[in-house]
């Protein structure tokens, strides 16, 4: 866990700690409410495991959104015995299930469904839900990992129509030929509907969320060592509980 976030560490939630492999085989539907309420979301994630390393224990649910990574690569990364390249080192797989995310992402506000989504999106959208566990006691005992191979902004709008995720990664990728010129602008428009702001931000270069990051209470920096984007990112704690509750600059750093 990144030092900036250690004060947010908490034990594995009961719903997650008691899941059996047979529960996971049912798919995430019965637990989707829990998955989104404690989630860090990463649009355009690829197989970048850095946010798991940085936030596991402060958060226990990770939702990755990327239509460009082949299913075979995702399954290999999630099931191989040595996961040091994905940020999942020292954890073993409790259970994994594949499912069709079409109905889940269809709930998005039409304003966030890009007209080019169909031609750029995965021809056959897929989703994989996995749960991991380590043998150490403490806040990183278990975490949930949901990978949606679907258009990222549409998926974010479908999963978070009125409330923000607890954590958000914004990494601008260049987007040549893709749906959106960048992620920041549609995320800012979507956030106008949210009742609050993300508590944790991980920001790569070229983001346009300055009005959020300038109000961060704690700032740290960390290299994305498990990413193809090996730049240094800001790891921020906003401590915001409603849409206007940005932190005061005179507060002591945690």
Of 141-155, 156-170, 177-191, 192-206, least confident by mean pLDDT is 177-191
Q: Is residue 254 part of a domain?
A: no
Q: What is the 3-state secondary structure (H, E, C) of the chain?
A: CCHHHHHHCCCCCHHHHCCCHHHHCCCCHHHHHHHHHCEEEEECCCCCCHHHHHHECCECEEEEECCCCCHHHHHHHHHCCCCCCCCCCCCEEEEEEEECCHHHHCCCCHHHCCCCHHHHCCCCCEEEEEEEECCCCCCCCEEEEEEEECCHHHHHHHHCCCCCCCEEEECCCCCCCCCCCCCHHHHHHHHCCCCCCCCEEEECCCCCCHHHHCCCCEEEEEECCCCCCCCEEEEEECCCCCCCCCCCCCCCCC
Mean predicted confidence (pLDDT) in 13-36: 96
Classify residue 218: in a domain, yes or no: yes
What the block records as the tokens of 3 is: 């030092």
Whether 246 has a pLDDT exceeding 50, the answer reads no
The average pLDDT across 14-27 equals 96
Instruction: Supply the pLDDT for residue 87.
Output: 67
Position 243 in a domain: no
pLDDT surpassing 90 at residue 247: no
Q: How many domains does the chain have?
A: 1
pLDDT tens digits, 67-94: 989 999 999 989 876 555 566 878 889 9
Residue 115 belongs to some domain of the structure: yes
Q: With respect to residue 242, please indicate whether it lies within any of the assigned structural domains.
A: no
250 domain residue, yes or no: no
Is residue 249 one of the residues assigned to a domain?
no
The boundaries of the domain holding residue 188 are 3-237
For residues 135-155, average pLDDT: 88
Identify which has the larger pLDDT, 150 or 231: 150
């Amino acid at each position: 866990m990144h030092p900036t976030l250690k004060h947010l560490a908490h034990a594995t939630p009961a719903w997650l700690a008691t899941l059996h492999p047979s529960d996971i085989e049912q798919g995430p539907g019965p637990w989707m409410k829990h998955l989104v309420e404690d989630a860090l979301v990463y649009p355009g994630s690829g197989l970048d495991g850095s946010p798991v390393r940085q936030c596991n224990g402060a958060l226990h649910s990770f939702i990755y959104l990327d239509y460009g990574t082949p299913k075979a690569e995702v399954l290999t990364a999630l099931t191989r015995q040595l996961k040091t390249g994905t940020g999942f080192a020292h954890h073993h797989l409790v259970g994994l299930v594949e499912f069709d995310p079409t109905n889940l992402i269809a709930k998005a506000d039409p304003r966030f469904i890009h007209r080019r989504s169909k031609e750029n999106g995965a021809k056959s959208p897929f989703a994989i839900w996995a749960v991991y566990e380590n043998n150490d006691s403490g806040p990183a005992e278990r975490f949930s990992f949901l990978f949606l191979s679907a258009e990222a902004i549409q998926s974010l709008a479908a999963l978070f129509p009125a409330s923000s995720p607890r954590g958000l990664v914004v990494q601008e990728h260049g987007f040549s030929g893709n749906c959106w010129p960048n992620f920041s602008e549609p995320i800012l428009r979507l956030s106008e509907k949210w009742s609050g702001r993300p508590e944790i931000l991980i920001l790569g270069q070229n983001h346009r969320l300055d009005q959020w990051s300038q109000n961060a209470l704690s700032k740290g920096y960390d290299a994305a060592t498990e990413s193809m984007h090996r730049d240094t990112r800001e790891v921020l704690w906003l401590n915001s509980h409603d849409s206007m509750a940005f932190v005061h600059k005179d507060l002591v750093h945690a």
